[in-house]
Amino acid sequence: MCGINGVVGLNNISEVLFEGIRNLEYRGYDSCGVALMNKKHLIVRKNIGGVEEIFHRENILSKKSRVGIAHTRWATHGTVTQENTHPFTSCDGAFAVVHNGILSNYRFLRDGLIGEGHQFDSDTDTEVIPHLLEKHYKECNDVELALVKTLNMLEGTFALAIISIYHPDQIFCARRESPLMLGIGDELKFVGSDFNAFIDYTKNAIIIGDGEYAILSRDSYVVKSYLTQKEVTKSITKIEWDNEAAKKGGYPHYMLKEIYEQPQTITTALELDSASLDELAGMIQKSENVYLVGVGTTFYVSKFSKYLFSSLAGQFIPAISSDEFTSLATVDKKTLVLTVSQSGETFDTISALKHAKSKGAKTAAIVNVMGSSISRLVDKVILQGSGPEICVISTKAAFTQMVIMMLLALRLGLKRKVLVRKEFDESLAALRELPGIIQSILNERSGFIHRVAHNYAKIKNWLYLGRGIYYPVALESALKMKEVAYVHAEGMSGGFLKHGTLAMVDDEVNTIVFTPPCGDKELYEATLRSVEEIRARSGFVFGIHFNEKGRNKGLFNEELILPNVSPLVAPLIQLVIGQLFAYFTATSLKRNIDKPRFLAKSVTVG
């Protein structure tokens, strides 16, 4: 949930360290700190605030160093204060440590260390690590051995980067269940929470596995097991992402850029290896019991997919939020757990997968980040190839996952003989039209959505309504509104409204309705009944609907009329409107778009 970066080189690395940690800021941005090796002394600077602010305020770029580590924090243990900011040092100032993860036995370790005379300056779990290193080093005079002893005492999860005055040209790092990788350049070696730490310098990565530690120097690296201390042979993973893709490219925010990238990411998804999708469809077909699993937005992707599998493949597949999976799912050897994750590092989803694996279930995943924990954990992975998603709010990744789920449901439909080849081909043709339709919606409707969002930006409560597959569209659009604009938005199925929530409707609660094309008569009419119920109570309704040739004139207080499209892709078009509406509301409210308060991109803690 935090960002870690470390760099070792021949010349001054302060600037490189700055760029790397700034690229990881989306992982957490409460506070930031660095430790630089200056000859045989550590320079530590840390404070509350963003990376640029801290580097500037603490004048870090003026410090010369060939080895350094940096951290950008999303607080778990201890409030956001300078004392609780990483790095942490040992009493003797010989070790500096940055950490991502949670140590579950830190209280026990801390009490023991205090009893031995160590002095603690923070409320964090992390601070036990430099003190343990100091203690063990004093016993054995060997940094590597002190590290191994320390790691074996830690319970919980960690990704660590450490520097020590005893080896001023090296970085030590280790991992258990928190992401960490090495970047292997010719002149520079890196450690980072993800590729964004070093993608500007090298595309050669080594993924550190659970139970492994590594020692990096300018011209070499070694990876070992901290259980056996034996060397582990690692292969280089080539990062296929383009570093330019991780830049803003003229857009005011990553969120807008990533929304505008959707036509391209859909095109990429449509080119995914069909044999691989077929294999996954086959796994679904063979399993007695299948679950769709994700959390936050990816839970809504799963809920969306549930409708697709029912309608296109005639198979009901439940969706479970991964944080509730172990309490709810019944899993055995005949079960398949199909997870969805942008980062591939989400703690709740990894926990669900581990639970499923422990019961002998088969596992699969649709993931954006190659080399991520989930992509390596599952039996079958589909890498969606949507490129880096930097904004904390997921748009293009989730959207593309929905498209991939459509492809999968269509393939399953064919296998189960629910669809005939002609229907399958027609659906594929409709999907191929989708990038162009979305491009023109973005080009032609953004201005209107901007105006509506701006006019109603002061509304504090929104009801987001949809029926059928438009219900998860409403849920996901409402989540976008909450996380980027900090505006209360409640996603609900239209039918559910009259069972309680209708009582809330007044001039302080506005409604947005995602209406299906009128060709889907039953769903369309049911959706309009919900609108009537609200309008009869003088509630305000913003209707998003398809060209209905003047039907329902005057029904909505505000309306956006979309071009007629195939019913298969219609809910996806509506979702783009939901994304833009949240974005423009947030810009009107002057929110921190790409880094909303209290959130982080990958939630690697439970």
Chain residue whose CB lies nearest ligand M6R: 296
58 vs 483, beta carbon nearer ligand M6R: 483
296 vs 516, beta carbon nearer ligand M6R: 296
State the minimum distance, in angstroms, from the CB of residue 153 to ligand M6R.
30
State the minimum distance, in angstroms, from the CB of residue 40 to ligand M6R.
41
Task: List, in sequence order, every residue forming a beta bridge with 180; answer none if it has no partner.
Answer: none
216 vs 352, beta carbon nearer ligand M6R: 352
State the minimum distance, in angstroms, from the CB of residue 365 to ligand M6R.
10
State the minimum distance, in angstroms, from the CB of residue 313 to ligand M6R.
24
The Cβ of residue 224 has, within 10 Å, a number of other Cβ atoms equal to: 18
State the minimum distance, in angstroms, from the CB of residue 393 to ligand M6R.
4
Sheet holding 41-48, edge to edge: 41-48, 31-38, 67-73, 3-9, 188-192, 181-184, 204-207, 237-238
Residues that bind ligand M6R (CB under 6 A): 295-298, 341-343, 346, 349, 392-394, 483, 599, 602-603
18 vs 74, beta carbon nearer ligand M6R: 74
The rounded distance, in Å, linking the Cα atoms of 209 and 37 is 27
State the minimum distance, in angstroms, from the CB of residue 596 to ligand M6R.
8
Catalytic residue positions? 2, 601
Q: Which three-class secondary structure state does DSSP give residue 5?
A: strand
**Which H, E and C letters describe 362-393, residue by residue?**
EEEEEECCCCCHHHHHCCEEEECCCCCCCCCC
The rounded distance, in Å, linking the Cα atoms of 164 and 170 is 8
402 vs 599, beta carbon nearer ligand M6R: 599
The rounded distance, in Å, linking the Cα atoms of 37 and 63 is 10
Return the C-alpha torsion angle 127, 129, 134, 137, nearest 10. Answer: 180
State the minimum distance, in angstroms, from the CB of residue 571 to ligand M6R.
18
The rounded distance, in Å, linking the Cα atoms of 233 and 9 is 23
**Which H, E and C letters describe 205-257, residue by residue?**
EEECCCCEEEEEECCEEEEEECCCCCECCCCCEECCCCHHHHCCCCCCCHHHH
295 vs 452, beta carbon nearer ligand M6R: 295
Rg, the chain, Cα only: 26
The DSSP symbol for 496 reads G
85 vs 394, beta carbon nearer ligand M6R: 394
The rounded distance, in Å, linking the Cα atoms of 86 and 160 is 11
Residue entry with tokens 């969706």: 319
